[in-house]
Structure formats: structure tokens, C-alpha cells
Amino acid sequence: MTHAAERTTWAFVTSHALVLLEVYRNPQITVREIADGAGLTERQVHRVLADLVDSGYLIRTRNGRRNEYQVNEDRPLRHPSIRHHRINELLHALGT
């Protein structure tokens, strides 16, 4: 087996961006639906949602027994080299 074949797969878009994109497309989406759409486990989605809420990228509102989310589109991207860009630019670039 070659060294390249031993590596795990990777993607250009992180799980955080995938979850953010799923929520942006449907604010009433369930964790299961996010997991299915993003190709993640429900446990991963719960962790990512918590990260995004704690960092101010998502606003979580309780609606009966369900959570609804709103993307804070004006937040900057996190990496120092691209902090001058906003979340809404990323979402539009990814084809929402």
C-alpha cells in the first residue's frame, strides 16, 4: 500500500462549514437532516452546532420541542488570512 493510500480522506470544506451551510438553507432543519446532508454523524453535528453557537456564528432559538437556528452572516471567517471576509460571502460562494 502506498503512502497516499494510507492517508484518510480529506475535504476542502470543513464539517463546520457544511453544518453552517445546511442550517443556512433550512433554519428549521433537524440534527438528523443536517447529518444526512453533510455526511456526518449526529454526534458530530451536535458538537459542531455547539461550537457555532458558542462562537456566535449561529443563534439558537427554542421553538416548542425543536431548535431553530439563524446564521449570523456578518461574522468574519476565523482564519487570520481571510478574516476580512464574512460568513455570507462563504455561503454565497458555496452555492446557496
Domains of the chain by start residue, with CATH: 12-93 (1.10.10.10)
Q: pTM of the entire structure?
A: 0.85
Give the Cα separation of 26 and 3 in Å (integer): 40
Note the pLDDT tens digit of each residue in 60-78: 999 998 999 999 999 999 9
Query: According to the model, what pLDDT value does residue 16 have?
Result: 96
Query: According to the model, what pLDDT value does residue 95 have?
Result: 78
* Residue numbers of the chain with a pLDDT score lower than 50: none
| CB distance 82 to 93 below 8 Å | no
Q: Where are the beta strands (DSSP E) in the chain?
A: 58-63, 66-71
Query: According to the model, what pLDDT value does residue 6 have?
Result: 60
Closest of 63, 52, 92 to residue 44, by C-alpha: 52
The one-letter amino acid at 68:
E
